[in-house]
Structure 1
Amino acid sequence: MTLTADAGAADAAPVGAPLRTVYRPAKPLDLRRSVGMLRRGPGDPTMVIDGAVIWRTLRTPQGPATLALRAVAGEVLVSAWGPGAESALERVPALCGAEDDDEGFDPSLHPLIADTARRTPGIRLARTDEVFDALACAIIEQKVTGLEAFRAWRQLVTKFGRRAPGPTPRPMYTAPTADEWRRIPSWDWHRVAVQPPQSKTIVRVAERAASISRALLAATTGDDRDRILTSFPGVGLWTSAETRLRALGDPDAVSVGDYHLAHEVGHALTGHRTDDDGMLELLAAWAGHRQRVIRLIFASGVSEARRGPRFSPEDHRGR
């Protein structure tokens, strides 16, 4: 990537001027399917998809930053604002899947996977390296609907995060630091309907955030990564897999215990529902790339018809 500022060198750029670069992926890249999957609901204050532009906020050692990414003719045009702009630009290749290695993946083992891989060659696994953010987000999503989790994430980040720099299409925020998560009062967790088991788990892992991040980034196998994360009470295999996927772009992460996933995998690969054990058996042929298969299943458009009415979450905040 070639780094440039709108007006001369970065340290001479006027306030508000972005740094710009062009990322040229070595393999086909579908930016929206790859980076867009990191968004936690349409109201996510850390990520906005505005037409062809993906906006994402992040924290860096130099301070907050905002990225804007647009795919044009096989390239990604990138702008970055804020004190952490230069550091943010350095993360763009990994964010766009540059470290995603699909060597050994054989889509021909199933006709649906083969056809979807042929039609959508640009699906890459994004890597953020934001271990604690991914872990906190996954903990909030435990045992609740996506609607509930996304609302809690939006409200907590907006209240306790920091306003992001740049001409964002709507006000955006960086997620709180681990220390800021630790200091969230109990009544604020209650107001957003995050239950005590989840809030206590976030506070517990926040106290060890730096060491967890170092250990997870150093681990090289899924088993080692699971062992690190599940050593903390309140963090199970589902939460570990969700964290591995978002923070590390782990191609083999499988969210065992998910309410819908096993049903969708079974339906796509066999035409029938299955349970977690059945899902793992079906995915075993793609060991090392099971998350890649799951992503292709979601991209295929094949989905099991929903049975029964949509679940309506009960609001306990006034009790």
Structure 2
Amino acid sequence: MQLDPAICNRARLTRDRRFDGRFYTAVKTTGIFCRPICPARAPLERNVEYFATAAEAAAAGYRPCLRCRPDAAPGSPAWGLVSTTVQRALLLMRRERELQSLERLAERLGISSRYLRKLFAEHFGISPLQVWQTERALFAFSLLRDTRLPVAEIAFAAGFNSLRRFNGVFKDIYRRTPSEVRREKGAERRENNPGIRLYLSYRPPLDWQGMLAFFAARALPGVEQVTMDYQDPQRSTYQRSFSVEGQRGLLLVRNDAANSRLEVRVIADGSGAVLFRVREQVRQLFDLDADTEAIAVHLARDPLLAQVLAGIQGIRLPGAWDPFEYALRAILGQQISVAAATTIAGRLVARYGESFTGPDGEALYLFPTAEQLAEADFSDLGVTRTRAQTLRNFVRATLDGQLDFSEPDLDAWCRQMTRLPGIGDWTAHYTAMRGLSMPDAFPASDLGILIALGEGGRKATPRQALARAEAWRPWRAYGALLLWQSLKLRDKS
């Protein structure tokens, strides 16, 4: 990613939070790299160089600043500007707790390991191993500072099965051992609250109440719970059950707006093994790495979208915890209302999901996996025989490997989905939009979209919707959200 030194210089001198995570400032005289919001005295321009990602700065020999903590920075938009093959590689690397061999990773991508190294060198100037090690070391640092987990458990959570190897990689990047970091000032004291607390930073603004309202209308009983506090938004929370790598648990998310971060409390048996995956999935769920300013500027060129954007603070795309779960829910939601689809999905959870007792004695459910639904009939959910067959086809295709939920290409994903009987373009795009967080997905045949784009009391056609949305690319999914929001504004007026 090419950075403009003049823009970076102005941003770091003003400590503009909108640029946090977009680039990192490396100081040649100290050998340290910082976030642009670092409170330390700004170095002279001739003594700095800029990097798009923390991994690139670390690979260049700089160590992370202990004051501004690059481990706590929002995600870099640079990751979203690479080829689809590299995006998929990053996704696969982050979905696994431990490091795969380069050969195995390349095999899953359908390319040679030599070509994979070449792609990473072209886009980042570093190897896949350097990206993995830097990301995991930064994650480990956050656990050392923000939790009281033992160092050995932190090493395991970060993906290292060898404590010696973890210590070596960590010391190469931070120039100190994990134990030395743990002894330094700033580590969290023990709390009475159960679980482990993670902090996920974002670039403000974040429409926290708006996102929670979206999730609340679709919350599955026993799986998700949204608590809205309109007097004090910081008390509004999102809660859901989860199962990661065979470990079931509960997470509770609230917004710490003063520090531009989400606080995530994770309660799970053997929680160390799930923390990295949980962090990545929560970031996607709340779209924390979105470049909201760039998206808003681009979409505001359309007068209708500009009108809606004027009342929204930081547009983000509500994601999903698990792509399989959301694809199944999208199929259930074909041609029925949100409330009806949520009711039927609740029946599915109660009928096929695994129940367990929460930390406060409450009854919780896990959304069923494809394996648990392998023999499911679905006819007892209140759906048509055709819809039940579509659900069975989808589950079978998932188990047979016909669907690749790590596919980053929108057209390729839609082709996979629409090959299945009973699944059309709307379902494929809506699943891509919510389940896979694809920013350019656009369910053009959606009734709400057609009404919002209609004129003179007449609905638009899908062809007209696609033509209008062409100018919104590559963020058509955000445009769809704004169109749905425009219907609410129209109803109020």
- Which category describes the TM-score, using the shorter chain as reference length? 0.7 to 0.9
Partner of residue 19, structure 1: 196
Residues 144-293 of structure 1 aligned to structure 2 (within 5 Å): 144-163=336-355, 166-167=358-359, 171-184=363-376, 186=377, 189-209=378-398, 211-213=401-403, 215-220=404-409, 222-266=410-454, 273-293=459-479
**2:364, 2:461 → 1: CA distance?**
39
**Is the 1:64–1:165 Cα contact (8 Å) retained in structure 2?**
no
**1:123, 1:94 → 2: CA distance?**
14
**Is the 1:82–1:166 Cα contact (8 Å) retained in structure 2?**
no
Residues 101-120 of structure 1 aligned to structure 2 (within 5 Å): 101=291, 103=294, 106-120=298-312
**Is the 1:242–1:253 Cα contact (8 Å) retained in structure 2?**
yes
**1:96, 1:169 → 2: CA distance?**
28
- SS of the residue 2:435 aligns to: helix
- SS of the residue 1:217 aligns to: coil
Partner of residue 286, structure 2: 96
Residues matched between the structures, number: 297
Q: Which amino acid aligns with 1:236?
A: G
Q: How has the CA–CA distance of structure 1 residues 219 and 68 changed in structure 2, closer, same or farther, with 3 Å as cutoff?
A: same
Partner of residue 91, structure 2: none
Q: How has the CA–CA distance of structure 1 residues 113 and 208 changed in structure 2, closer, same or farther, with 3 Å as cutoff?
A: same
- 1:99-122 per-residue CA deviation (whole Å, 9 max, x = no partner) reads 435656613323342243243232
**2:365, 2:327 → 1: CA distance?**
18
User: Which region of structure 1 is more displaced relative to structure 2, 223-232 or 202-211?
Assistant: 202-211
**Is the 2:220–2:345 Cα contact (8 Å) retained in structure 1?**
no
**Is the 2:445–2:461 Cα contact (8 Å) retained in structure 1?**
no
Which of 214, 217, 230 is the equivalent residue of 1:37?
214
- SS of the residue 1:58 aligns to: strand
Asked if 1:303 is matched to 2:490, the reply is yes
Runs (5+) with no aligned partner, structure 1: 306-319
**2:281, 2:337 → 1: CA distance?**
31
User: For the pair shown, which has the larger CA radius of gyration, 1 or 2?
Assistant: 2
Q: How has the CA–CA distance of structure 1 residues 42 and 60 changed in structure 2, closer, same or farther, with 3 Å as cutoff?
A: closer
- SS of the residue 2:445 aligns to: coil
User: Which region of structure 1 is more displaced relative to structure 2, 198-207 or 162-171?
Assistant: 162-171
Bigger relative CO (Cα 8 Å, ≥ 6 apart): 1
- 1:257-281 per-residue CA deviation (whole Å, 9 max, x = no partner) reads 33333112336xx875322222222
Partner of residue 53, structure 2: none
**1:237, 1:304 → 2: CA distance?**
28
Q: TM-score, normalised by structure 2?
A: 0.53
- 1:117-143 per-residue CA deviation (whole Å, 9 max, x = no partner) reads 243232212444622111111111123
Report the identity percentage.
Answer: 20
- 1:223-266 per-residue CA deviation (whole Å, 9 max, x = no partner) reads 22211211111211111012101222122222233333311233
Deviation at 1:90, TM superposition (A): 3.6
**1:117, 1:212 → 2: CA distance?**
39
Q: Which amino acid aligns with 2:423?
A: V
